[in-house]
Structure 1
Amino acid sequence: MQFLGGNRRKLRLADDQRNACYPHSLQFYLQPPSGNISLIEFENLAIDRVKLLKAVENLGVSYVKGSEQYQSKLEAELRKLKFSYRENLGDEYEPRRRDHISHFILRLAYCQSEELRRWFIQQEMDLLRFRFSILPKDKIQSFLKDSHLQFEAISDEDKTLREQDIMASSHSLGGVQLELESVYKIPFADALDLFRGRKVYLENGFAYVPLKDIVAIILNEFRTKLSKALAVS
């Protein structure tokens, strides 16, 4: 990423090129940004991201994370901060670009000490958890693929064949709930925490995980990747 003394030069990308840059509102930030950015925009993006993560932190202290009240308050705060947090039909290139760049700017600022790294990782994880919770179901599989996660949604037929085993391992999931819930086939090594708690059905080296339980695995993967990235920043 290069800096310009004046305004950032606007690049006119075709729609397909723009969409290819940021196919989702949600990402793991696997690739650093490229291109030109002005020092003024750099500073503004940094300030906006700090405000965003501070809001996430404050709400996490005041409310139970994941509760209906927490979700509602956080969504209202994100709207107030004009942060793009969900899939929209309009042109989302610029909001997603700002999200991408501002995340990496704060990586540079928060890699300086263990305390700063822990704080940054926790707030980014909480933000990811919220954004994943409102991601449309038809977008989940492509998000997992783009994040290099080998999680495959099984067919309704395969789910029916394993219905009793899956319900037995996921005690809070009844038959009606399972019928409406997506189930993912993931490598056993990615579901060790669920296995240790005896909360997952295993078969031939794969874990069959309902959507409600896959969030913890996604967050763990995100934490691992972000921790490694901060360590070498």
Structure 2
Amino acid sequence: MLAATTARIDAKKRAVLDSRKKQFAKATWEAETYDYRMNFYLTPPTGDIALEQFEEWAIARLKVLAELEACQFRNRSPAETEEYMRPVLEKYMRLSSNASKSSEIFTERKRDHYSHWTLRLAFSGTAELRQRFARLEAQLFRLRMQWDDAKERKEFIASLAMSWETVSEEEKLQWRAELKAATRVWDKEEEENYFKVQWENVPDLVERRMCLLKRGMAYVHIREQSGMVVNEFSRQLESALELAGRFLPRMDEDDRLSPILHHLSQQFVAPDSGYSESSSIGDITTPTAASIDGLSQHFPLCMQNLHRELRKNSHLKHFGRLQYTLFLKGIGLSLQEYKFKSEYLYNIRHSYGDVGGDANRRGKGYTPYSCQKLLTEAPPSSGQAHGCPYRTYGPDNLIALLQNVGVSDRQLLQGVREDVGKQRFHIACNRVFEHAHAAQIKKVKEESLWPASELDTILHPNTYFKRSFLLKNLGKVQAGDLGVDGPVQSSGGSERMET
């Protein structure tokens, strides 16, 4: 009976039901193609990528969005934002045009497509994250539209299923005077092309009286077309994020993806930035315990706070000691420069990788903490001084702390207070840095001494230190990582770093 039943099952159906064969079956979807570098991201990715790429591409895109948001927080003009963002996009999310004939076009566009959808999942969990993501993605889309090749932009727009109609020559002739007045086309050389759309789709143009209204239709000049495309992109993305938010709970069942998505969502506090050995100044000068007091002028507030606490009490509690020790290790201070108290000997040697063997990062020890780690760790309790002061101090105490380290500009302090109130902690820190180094940053920009990428948003205390050190020693140190005209000397402090 069983044999007869089996025989009656269609062979094709049996193949589909066989899970061992199903996993090797040919995909029923079409392979991804990218005809344009612009993308509405209407369809999710269908191919396979490694988990490492899944996270790596998303982090690269997140850095772009973070820099774009930082431009807004710093009140950069549209022109300044464009100038600032060009090298950032070139570094993290390059998109070559079709005319470039680049062999990397498909890879670049695939990375752009996948990274957008990864972050869409990561930031769909709450209304606030969805709003931030949609706003920044729309800004990124607008920038790319402005930079796109005119021919390719026109072809991309033509490929979209937009609800507009081209205004015929007869209609243009009929309404020409009113069209020109309503859309403010006074230049005889300006292109007189128009399209019409339901007025509800262009409320901003109606509000600004930049279109002609006739029988429920808005007649719009061609120059407004790119803005309408951006608005439609925003509208569709916001709707899609709502759907993604409902789907997100199912992702918790995947123990491979959910930790990555959670980690990415945390990075909207401050994008993570791994420590690089290039953040050390060991190739320029040799930091010693005796030079730390002099070098502390280049420390970010979190490390200045720990340094002052150590000098005041000759002691730091465990988490503060670990944070400060790793920072000093990162700037190039050697283990031999420490004067150990016996109870801390093993911990400090372990941080440096002097003990612990292969289990301890193969003898390299732990890496210095990033801003993101300091901002997302548990805050210090009474008597502790670790973490990020911009987050852990109350506004009045923070202002007092900044004044104690020499920050006195009232407008700057007010900007810091506003940043902290909106939980833009790393932006507040960058604001203080840029004010303290304004003259040097201006010189670097005007004389093109550094690549623009060397002045992007600081996301790591050790990056803060080295950039400050290099800017304050421009006459002695070349740009970049950055070569040396001669040793840079620092003075002050004790013979050994006592912890």
* TM bracket (short chain): 0.7 to 0.9
- The structure whose RCO (Cα within 8 Å, separation 6+) is larger is 1
Q: How does 1:98-113 map to 2 (within 5 A)?
A: 98-113=111-126
Change (3 A) 1:46 1:110: same
Q: Per the alignment, in what secondary structure is the counterpart of residue 31 of structure 1?
A: coil
Q: 8 Å contact 2:61–2:93 — kept in the other structure? A: no
Structural RMSD (CA): 2.8
Q: How does 1:1-233 map to 2 (within 5 A)?
A: 21-64=33-76, 67-84=78-95, 86-91=97-102, 92-154=105-167, 162-171=175-184, 173-176=185-188, 179-180=190-191, 182-233=193-244
Change (3 A) 1:211 1:217: same
TM-score, length of structure 1 as denominator length: 0.78
For residue 55 of structure 1, report the CA deviation from its aligned partner.
Answer: 1.5
For residue 120 of structure 1, report the CA deviation from its aligned partner.
Answer: 0.5
Q: Sequence identity of aligned pairs in percent?
A: 28
Between 1:101-110 and 1:80-89, the stretch displaced more is 80-89
Q: 8 Å contact 2:96–2:108 — kept in the other structure? A: no
Q: Distance in 2 between matches of 1:180 and 1:136?
A: 18
Q: 8 Å contact 1:150–1:186 — kept in the other structure? A: yes
Q: Distance in 2 between matches of 1:160 and 1:139?
A: 30
Between 1:52-61 and 1:135-144, the stretch displaced more is 135-144
For residue 90 of structure 1, report the CA deviation from its aligned partner.
Answer: 1.6
Q: Distance in 1 between matches of 2:170 and 2:98?
A: 29
2:469 is aligned to none
Q: Distance in 1 between matches of 2:33 and 2:43?
A: 10
For residue 181 of structure 1, report the CA deviation from its aligned partner.
Answer: 6.3
Q: Distance in 2 between matches of 1:159 and 1:58?
A: 44
AA partner of residue 108 (structure 1):
L
The structure with the larger Rg is: 2
Q: Distance in 1 between matches of 2:33 and 2:54?
A: 19
TM-score, length of structure 2 as denominator length: 0.39
Higher strand share: 1
For residue 82 of structure 1, report the CA deviation from its aligned partner.
Answer: 4.4
User: Unaligned regions of 5+ residues in structure 1, if any?
Assistant: 1-16
Q: Distance in 1 between matches of 2:145 and 2:99?
A: 14
Q: Distance in 1 between matches of 2:76 and 2:164?
A: 28
AA partner of residue 200 (structure 1):
C
User: Unaligned regions of 5+ residues in structure 2, if any?
Assistant: 1-29, 245-499
Q: Distance in 1 between matches of 2:95 and 2:62?
A: 15
Change (3 A) 1:76 1:206: same
The count of aligned residue pairs is: 213
